[in-house]
């Protein structure tokens, strides 16, 4: 019992590039995003309108967002932490945003310099403005399966944060395994608890696995079995989080799409064009992209 179709949310230009050590020119990011659109990805998370001091890698957000070629039917969400970010995003013509908090206090403090409650208070006016502008809001919850500072995270806290985000107008929630510690049984436990409460429609849940310990694809499989049909991934497996020590790249989009293709689950993504997109950003990195599929086809 798999879904017939999965919506792949490409986060490489944002979650991937926010954590690459090297400075990448805006022109290379724009080309990367344009090629990801060409590859048929329905959602390409493009950048973040956060403090340039917090994430210098994405300080060119304004330039990137005003210069990408927007394909019809593709959405280009950006991360927005506060009203200042929202104003910048609106000025750059953004039509879809994501707010982001976590299920553990210590991570939230390190990541966005706020408590969880303060972060939610900061998002309310952002969500109100988004509603007035007709802009969709995704809500990210980090550290759902474990925190780099606090260890175990109670699922009751995940549920509480999820309900708050939905209540303020988020149309979709992404459950983040920020440091890539989740195992398949844990995915089932967390999803069953969230879904069984009845307040969170499964159609609105996305999963966001980092592949730090190699469990991301196995975790996706369990999520699909639980009815999840939105999966976040990053071209080439780029990524991490600068405020989560040891976080490796996201699950690679190539590896995800290869598995889904084999299972007969539709994504609309052209794997060859996706590899082309990754191969154009690869020369700007200081390492080979970690995607297994990418490495397999590029070395033959
Ligand atoms: P703060 O220092 O508490 O904020 O940072 P502040 O309001 O006091 O502002 C400090 C300075 O930043 C000021 O500048 C502001 O103007 C400026 P100054 O007057 O000192 O020159 N500033 C901004 N500039 C541009 N755009 C803005 C903005 N906001 C403030 N939007 C803040 C708080 C939230 C702003 C900061 O901590 C921040 O930007 N954090 C972002 C961290 C981040 O992006 N982390 C990675 C994304 S989360 C993630 O990767 C996890 C995820 O993938 C899911 C998962 O894997 O779990 C989503
Ligand atoms: Mg992430």
Tens digits of residue pLDDT in 208-246: 999 999 999 999 999 999 999 999 999 999 975 566 666
Q: What is the mean pLDDT of the chain?
A: 95
Measured CA distances, 268 to 184, 232, 233 (Å): 26, 15, 15
pLDDT per residue as tens digits for the range 1-23: 899 999 999 999 999 999 888 89
Question: In the chain, pLDDT over 70 holds for what percent of residues?
Answer: 97
CA distance 24 to 63: 13
Q: Could you tell me if the CB of 55 is within 6 A of ligand 1? A: yes
User: Ligand 1 centre from 101 Cα, in Å?
Assistant: 12
- pLDDT above 80: residue 300: no
Q: Could you tell me if the CB of 96 is within 6 A of ligand 1? A: no
Q: Could you tell me if the CB of 48 is within 6 A of ligand 1? A: yes
Catalytic residue among 74, 241, 269, 274: 241
Burial of 198 per CB tally in 10 Å (0-12, 13-18, 19+): exposed
First and final C-alpha spacing in the chain: 35
Residue with CA closest to ligand 1 atom 40 = 112
The predicted pLDDT at position 242 comes to 60
For residues 28 and 283, is the Cβ–Cβ distance under 8 A?
no
**Rounded mean pLDDT of 136-161?**
97
pLDDT per residue as tens digits for the range 39-98: 999 999 999 999 999 999 999 999 999 999 999 999 999 999 999 999 999 999 999 999
Looking at the CA of 89, which ligand is closest?
Answer: 1
Residue 286 pLDDT class (50, 70, 90 cuts): confident
Q: Could you tell me if the CB of 15 is within 6 A of ligand 1? A: yes
The predicted pLDDT at position 244 comes to 62
Instruction: Decide if 147 is catalytic.
Output: no
């Amino acid at each position: 019992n798999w879904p017939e179709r999965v919506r792949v949310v490409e986060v490489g230009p944002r979650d991937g590039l926010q954590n690459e050590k090297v400075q990448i020119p805006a022109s290379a990011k724009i080309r990367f995003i344009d090629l990801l659109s060409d590859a048929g990805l329905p959602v390409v998370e493009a950048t973040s309108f956060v403090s340039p001091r917090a994430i210098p890698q994405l300080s060119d957000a304004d330039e990137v967002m005003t210069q990408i070629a927007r394909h019809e039917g593709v959405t280009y969400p950006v991360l927005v932490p506060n009203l200042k970010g929202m104003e910048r995003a609106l000025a750059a013509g953004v039509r879809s945003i994501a707010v982001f908090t976590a299920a553990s206090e210590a991570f939230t403090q390190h990541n966005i310099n706020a408590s969880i409650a303060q972060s939610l208070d900061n998002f309310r006016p952002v969500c109100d403005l988004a509603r007035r502008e007709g802009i969709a809001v995704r809500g990210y919850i980090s550290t759902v399966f474990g925190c780099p500072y606090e260890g175990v995270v109670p699922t009751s806290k995940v549920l509480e944060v999820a309900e708050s985000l939905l209540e303020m107008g988020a149309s979709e929630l992404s459950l983040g395994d920020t440091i890539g510690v989740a195992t398949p049984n844990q995915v089932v436990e967390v999803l069953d608890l969230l879904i069984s409460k009845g307040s969170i429609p499964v159609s609105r849940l996305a999963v966001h696995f980092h592949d730090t310990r190699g469990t991301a694809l196995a975790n996706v499989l369990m999520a699909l079995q639980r009815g999840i049909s939105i999966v976040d991934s990053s071209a080439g497996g780029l990524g991490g989080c600068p405020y989560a020590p040891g976080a490796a790249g996201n699950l690679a989009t190539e590896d995800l799409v290869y598995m889904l293709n084999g299972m007969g689950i539709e994504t609309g993504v052209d794997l060859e064009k996706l590899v082309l997109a990754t191969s154009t950003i690869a020369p700007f990195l200081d390492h080979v992209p970690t995607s297994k599929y990418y490495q397999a086809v590029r070395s033959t």
